[in-house]
Amino acid sequence: MDYQENKDKVEDDKPRLGGVSDLSVIEESEQMRANGDSYYPQSQERPQRSEEQLSNSHPARSLSPDKYADVEGLGRRTRSLSAVQIQGNNANNVIDEYPKMPRRSSLASGNRPRMQKHVSFSSSSDEKAIASAGDCIRAMQAGTDMIKIRSVTRHYKRTFVLDQDMASLTWKPSTKKAEKAFIKIIDIREVFKGQTTEIFRQLSKEDYSEDCSFSIIYGDKYESLDLVASSPDEANVWITGLRCLLSNRKRSAVRGSGFLIEEQVMSLVKQMAPHIKLDQIISKHKECSLSDGTMNRTQFLNFYKEITTRPEVYFILVRYASTGDFLTVGDLLTFLESEQEVTKLSKEECLGLIKRYEPTRRGRREGFLGLDGFIKYLLDQELFDSKHLKVCEDMDQPLSHYFIAASHNTYLLEDQLTGPSSVEAYKSALLSGCRCVEMDCWDGPNNEPVIYHGQSLTTKITFTSVLHAINEYAFVASEHPVILWIQNHCNPKQQQAMSRYLKEIFGDKLCTTFINGNRKVLPSPKALIRKIILKGKKLPVSLKESEGLVSDEECSSNIPDNTDKKKNKKDNSHSTRKHIKLIRQLSDLVDLKCVTFGGFLDVKENNRNYYETTSLEETLALKLSQASPDEFVTFNKNFLSRTFPAIKRVDSSNYNPQDFWNCGCQLVAMNYQTRGQMMDIHTGKFTQNGSCGYVLKPSILREDFSYFNPGSKESIPGVDPQILHIRIISGQNLPKPRGSGSKVNVVDPYVILQINGIPIDCAEERSKTIANNGFNPVFDESYEFLINLPEMAIVRFLVKDDEHIGDDFIGQFSIPLPCMKSGYRHLKLYDDTGELIPLATLFVHVTMIGKRAFGSYKRGMSLKKLKKTREYAQLKTVGIKSIDEIFKEAVKPLRNSADLRDNVQIAIAQFKEMCGLAPSSNMKQCIKYLTSRLKGSSQTFSLSITSNEGYPHLEAIGGVPEGYKKSITTFQSMIDEGRILLDSGPDLQERDELFSYISKESGVKNKKLMKVKDNYGWNIAVMKGQVELLIAAYQEFEVYIQQIHDVGNNSTAAKAV
């Protein structure tokens, strides 16, 4: 049976299966011995042959020698056999169709003259001659005694036999069970002549003759079976026979036309489904194929469907398919609008998607998307929003308004005590998007400064080599500025060399106009494109000498006490600090001045300069975040602060960067050389803005009149909490953990969902375990998380192996919440080194909705009842009468704004509930549900969408069922509430102007403002946030109105049958 016949019934665009119908076959050994003839498929007419032809015919023809090996490959094999002879025209001993081994010159020129070949391993005239590959096969089936080499000391005499089906090689006697003492021919990878393996190399040359030795390489792990025959001829019989079987397997099927061998199956499936891992195909192939590894047409189709059909995707497809198990253009458009949040997509664009993803010609021609095409489309729908692959945030803000990717002790490759230092560490950090690197500079030989971890056993690298690396790689991954922190421990002479090298190597890249007398805030990243900024110690402006003393203390590790008693003690101890000489030449190159942290009160009283920065050790930074979180946030709005891992982390482990981002710290330095959960979070964070090394902080962490306490359990004023709904559907091609000690490749995966953000948002959930399935485990579990500050949340998907030996980590993916796309998405997994795992993915469904309405709404609640229980954001008393009066006047309009927004959102929730849909569904899904109910109704009526003064109106004609009337009434209530909201639009701008009025007319500034800043900031944040939420609700309902109009324009009134 030809594999290609009736192909249109299955799929008219699948690649042809490698010329399967032209493949030659190997005859059953019994048939070979019976008539010595070749096998002809039933579809071919067997040619008539004369008695002379029959007598001269050779059993070797059953091996299809004209096709089983290419000329070059045959030459390579036969050249290794000492007894092979190429003879001219001996008609009684030739195989007409068997190609002779070409000479070396023939191979080079490409000439392949067909000659006749005779193979003889006979050493004497009275021995039975081995005249062909067929004779080799028969000799192997008869059995041969050989020595099996297991190790240097373990040598066993065994009888090796090729079974009658030519499917496996067995040996006996054996200490193994009979079912284990064999090797399948399909598992053999190569046959080597001589003593080429590691076991043979360990033997003495005198032990066995090399001409009698050969090795069989088999299995996925390329194990070796090392054998020694009693004579070179006997070894050559096995080498020739096995190579014949291997070569024939590669070019022909075993049982006749219409069968595929393993290599062909692997090639075809990889061509048609490249998203499936090869080892998964091999594993499934062993379950579905015949004992000899072949497949017929029906078996291959079933095998392909089983390995490529994902049931969880099929159920999604049939849910949206109007007819059959495929999506029409209209079906696909509905799916994209309902699930993927795609808007303004035309049918022509949908047809373009079908032509792009549908593999069959018929599907592309007739405009429908089958399951294979749908899977291919979904694999391209990544969870990460592609707009964040480029710089997408405002880069004109001051540097203090950004989180900046920073490295700690950048020069180290390993631990902090004895680890090697390397220039490669700088290259790696910069290429990964790091924008702040550290140089610990010390005196070196020959007046050449060196970099290493001082007072440790780490190795040293030269100052100049690091500068050259930074100069070359600074702006490869990102063009935004690089901050170079120089910890200077060098003498004045070597400082001169440092300043000279900095100017010579960096040239115009070195920033020298950072400090400006007219400037009050730090410059922006955009203003410093492709600039290198030096951070370090700096001489006072008032000092006129060419050098001066500065503190050698770069970092702060203790909370300063600002009481007078302690202050005097601190002043007395000031003289005991270690100081170093700093030359003016180097000082003038520094733009960001490092100063010791003296407490928040010290910052207020001493009028700190905008270009002064502070480095805080991990322990001190944590204490500040717990003792004075709001002051820490306020400090970081205007000044740069750097945190770094505690000194006790000698193993170069990392802290949780989220703890310090929550307080607005810009430079949260990490040990880039140490991968793990904390670096995963760090790496994920900076994907939010094109991996450029800069991420804009949320407004509450950078605006002057805003209040934020990261440790608070209360809702954040002006921020609408979000409900994040994640459904973990399935995984694909999950590998065995890298460090697993298990010998099997099967895993028992489970998924952990981690939410990292402000403390009130942090959460973790674990899925069930799927036993023995890393290929396509289906979890199908859903989780909900309340996110109070979405801009700071990072979601981490972690996949582990439940039945592990050693390491249980399979892969992970960390993504900022603002970068997540809604709908059905695939996310790619990364290994423990941060590298992408080929083809390993998770399939998820994500939705995110505002909590304000749906968080308090319960099934069946009325608006009247909800109004009685509604909670409003409260304004706080500032303590200044004029300001409190203004805030008091704002209370009523703020409540009205909240009512407008909540009434609309609750009306929408009630309508979706009436439709039986989740709060995350959109209007198009709701209208589609209503029209689908028409088709199932026993009463005859119609439904149309009309426009009434620009607002949609549902009109039902005929005998409308009672349940349907409720849906229409709920729909109309939703439209009415939204109309009130939209009509209030002109008042929004007036309320927004209230903020400017309060800020200008209050007269609160400087020290007086400091006393009331907390409550004042809270009130401003509440008022501004309420207006922003109202505007967002206004815009959201406008989108809903447009969706309803679109449905009305694209469909006619439905009629019940």
Across 999-1010, average pLDDT: 50
The region of weakest confidence among 508-512, 588-592, 973-977 is: 973-977
Residue 896 confidence (pLDDT) above 90? no
Task: Please give the span between the terminal C-alpha atoms of the chain, in angstroms, as a whole number.
Answer: 48
Tell me the three state secondary structure of residue 875: coil
- Cα separation, 735 vs 747, in Å, equals 7
Mean model confidence pLDDT for the chain: 76
- Cα separation, 231 vs 229, in Å, equals 5
Question: Residue 103's pLDDT is what?
Answer: 32
The region of weakest confidence among 39-43, 463-467, 561-565, 740-744 is: 39-43
Q: Give me the residue label for tokens 């099927």.
A: 253
Question: Residue 704's pLDDT is what?
Answer: 77
Question: Of residues 807 and 406, which shows the higher confidence score?
Answer: 406
Tokens of 692: 């450029």
Q: Is the dihedral of CA 581, 582, 584, 586 positive or negative?
A: positive
Residue 215 Cα to chain centre, angstroms: 42
* Closest to 1022 (Cα-Cα) out of 874, 870, 883: 874
Distance set, CA 964 to CA 630, 906, 943, 955, 975 (Å): 53, 20, 10, 11, 17
Across 354-364, average pLDDT: 93
Q: Give me the residue label for tokens 């198009």.
A: 924
CB contact at 8 A, 253 and 259: yes
| Top mean-pLDDT range of 219-233, 287-301, 974-988, 993-1007 | 219-233
Pairing of strands 778-787, 722-732: antiparallel
Question: Residue 189's pLDDT is what?
Answer: 82
* Closest to 800 (Cα-Cα) out of 781, 777, 817, 823: 777
Beta strands in 793-934 (DSSP E): 794-801, 809-816, 823-830, 836-850
- Cα separation, 369 vs 818, in Å, equals 31
Question: Residue 806's pLDDT is what?
Answer: 76
Question: Residue 418's pLDDT is what?
Answer: 92
CB contact at 8 A, 42 and 276: no
CB contact at 8 A, 284 and 307: yes
Residue 353 confidence (pLDDT) above 60? yes
* Closest to 81 (Cα-Cα) out of 159, 162, 194, 190: 194
Question: Residue 953's pLDDT is what?
Answer: 72
Question: Residue 1008's pLDDT is what?
Answer: 52
Cross-strand pairs, 406? 436, 669
* Closest to 836 (Cα-Cα) out of 391, 409, 382: 382
Across 483-503, average pLDDT: 95
Give the model's confidence band at 568: pLDDT under 50 very low, under 70 low, under 90 confident, else very high: very low
The pTM for the full model equals: 0.69
Residue 70 confidence (pLDDT) above 70? no
Question: Of residues 1006 and 268, which shows the higher confidence score?
Answer: 268
Across 176-203, average pLDDT: 81
Residue 459 Cα to chain centre, angstroms: 35
Beta strands in 835-884 (DSSP E): 836-850
Report the amino acid identity of residue 167. Answer: A
Question: Residue 683's pLDDT is what?
Answer: 96
| Top mean-pLDDT range of 57-71, 778-792, 905-919, 1039-1053 | 778-792
Give the model's confidence band at 505: pLDDT under 50 very low, under 70 low, under 90 confident, else very high: very high
Element counts in the chain: helices (H) and strands (E): 32, 35
Question: Residue 967's pLDDT is what?
Answer: 74
> pLDDT exceeding 70 applies to what percent of the chain?
72
Question: Residue 692's pLDDT is what?
Answer: 96
Which residues 6+ apart lie within 8 Å of 396 measured at CB? 524, 526, 527
Question: Of residues 714 and 7, which shows the higher confidence score?
Answer: 714
The string of pLDDT tens digits covering residues 799-846 is: 999 887 778 899 999 999 999 999 999 999 999 989 999 889 999 999
CB contact at 8 A, 243 and 68: no
| Top mean-pLDDT range of 187-196, 491-500, 954-963 | 491-500
The C-alpha angle with vertex 89 and arms to 85 and 91, in degrees rounded to 5, equals: 105
- Cα separation, 116 vs 93, in Å, equals 9
Query: In 796-862, which residue ranges form alpha helices assigned H by DSSP?
Result: 851-854
| DSSP letter assigned to residue 282 | H
Question: Residue 637's pLDDT is what?
Answer: 92
Residue 255 Cα to chain centre, angstroms: 44
Question: Residue 300's pLDDT is what?
Answer: 84
Question: Residue 752's pLDDT is what?
Answer: 97
Cross-strand pairs, 419? none
Across 973-978, average pLDDT: 76
The string of pLDDT tens digits covering residues 755-768 is: 999 999 999 999 99
Q: Give me the residue label for tokens 């003498």.
A: 491
- Cα separation, 292 vs 398, in Å, equals 70
The string of pLDDT tens digits covering residues 509-553 is: 999 877 777 788 999 999 999 999 999 999 988 888 888 888 877
- Buried/exposed code over 752-781 (b: 16+ C-beta within 10 A; e: otherwise): ebbbbbbebbebebebebbeebbbbbebeb
Tell me the three state secondary structure of residue 644: strand
Give the model's confidence band at 435: pLDDT under 50 very low, under 70 low, under 90 confident, else very high: very high
Residue 865 confidence (pLDDT) above 70? no
- Cα separation, 1044 vs 1047, in Å, equals 5
Q: Is the dihedral of CA 455, 458, 463, 466 positive or negative?
A: negative
Q: Show the 3-state SS of 217-255.
A: EECCCCEEEEEECCCHHHHHHHHHHHHHHHHHHHHCCCC
Distance set, CA 384 to CA 26, 112, 795, 828 (Å): 52, 55, 11, 10
User: Of 58, 388, 401, 408, which one is the catalytic site residue?
Assistant: 408
Q: Give me the residue label for tokens 């407008």.
A: 900
- Cα separation, 662 vs 403, in Å, equals 11
Question: Residue 471's pLDDT is what?
Answer: 96
Residue 431 Cα to chain centre, angstroms: 18
Residue 551 Cα to chain centre, angstroms: 46
The string of pLDDT tens digits covering residues 923-951 is: 777 777 676 666 555 556 666 777 777 77
The string of pLDDT tens digits covering residues 206-244 is: 788 889 999 998 887 778 899 999 999 999 999 998 988
Does 453 participate in catalysis according to the annotation? yes
Residue 190 Cα to chain centre, angstroms: 37
Question: Of residues 61 and 13, which shows the higher confidence score?
Answer: 13
- Cα separation, 439 vs 488, in Å, equals 8
Give the model's confidence band at 277: pLDDT under 50 very low, under 70 low, under 90 confident, else very high: confident
- Cα separation, 509 vs 496, in Å, equals 19
Does 408 participate in catalysis according to the annotation? yes
The string of pLDDT tens digits covering residues 81-130 is: 333 332 333 333 322 333 333 333 332 333 333 333 344 444 433 445 67
Q: What are the phi and psi torsion angles at 439 (to 5°)?
A: -125, 115
Question: Of residues 6 and 603, which shows the higher confidence score?
Answer: 603
Tell me the three state secondary structure of residue 719: coil
User: What's the farthest any 2 CA atoms get from each other in the chain?
Assistant: 125
Report the amino acid identity of residue 242. Answer: L
User: Of 285, 453, 480, 826, which one is the catalytic site residue?
Assistant: 453
Question: Residue 966's pLDDT is what?
Answer: 73
Question: Residue 671's pLDDT is what?
Answer: 96
Long-range contacts of 468-473 (CB under 8 A, 24+ apart): 468/505, 469/423, 469/426, 469/427, 470/426, 470/430, 470/437, 470/532, 471/505, 471/506, 471/509, 472/427, 473/426, 473/427, 473/430, 473/431
CB contact at 8 A, 36 and 59: yes
Cross-strand pairs, 850? 722
Question: Of residues 58 and 23, which shows the higher confidence score?
Answer: 58
Give the model's confidence band at 268: pLDDT under 50 very low, under 70 low, under 90 confident, else very high: confident
Cross-strand pairs, 641? 614
Q: Is the dihedral of CA 594, 597, 600, 602 positive or negative?
A: negative
CB contact at 8 A, 837 and 828: yes
Q: How many residues does the chain have?
A: 1057
Q: Is the dihedral of CA 385, 386, 390, 394 positive or negative?
A: negative
User: From the CA atom positions of the chain, what is the Rg in Å?
Assistant: 39
CB contact at 8 A, 373 and 359: yes
Q: What is the H or E stretch that residue 144 is in?
A: strand 144-149
Q: What is the H or E stretch that residue 778 is in?
A: strand 778-787
| DSSP letter assigned to residue 63 | G
The string of pLDDT tens digits covering residues 118-167 is: 444 444 334 456 777 788 888 899 899 999 998 888 898 999 999 887 88
Q: Give me the residue label for tokens 């060419």.
A: 546
Q: Give me the residue label for tokens 């969408």.
A: 945
Tokens of 285: 């192939």
- Cα separation, 459 vs 419, in Å, equals 7
Question: Residue 719's pLDDT is what?
Answer: 80
Which residues 6+ apart lie within 8 Å of 877 measured at CB? 884, 1015
Across 357-380, average pLDDT: 93
Question: Residue 77's pLDDT is what?
Answer: 33
Question: Of residues 64 and 430, which shows the higher confidence score?
Answer: 430
Question: Of residues 748 and 110, which shows the higher confidence score?
Answer: 748
The region of weakest confidence among 88-92, 505-509, 649-653, 724-728 is: 88-92
Question: Residue 32's pLDDT is what?
Answer: 37
Q: What is the H or E stretch that residue 696 is in?
A: strand 694-696
* Closest to 954 (Cα-Cα) out of 962, 966, 940: 966
Question: Residue 502's pLDDT is what?
Answer: 96
The string of pLDDT tens digits covering residues 657-711 is: 999 999 999 999 999 999 999 999 999 999 999 999 999 999 889 987 777 888 8
Question: Of residues 248 and 621, which shows the higher confidence score?
Answer: 621
Tell me the three state secondary structure of residue 32: helix
Q: Give me the residue label for tokens 């849910």.
A: 319
Report the amino acid identity of residue 1018. Answer: W
Question: Of residues 504 and 541, which shows the higher confidence score?
Answer: 504
Across 168-182, average pLDDT: 77
| Top mean-pLDDT range of 313-317, 733-737, 1043-1047 | 313-317
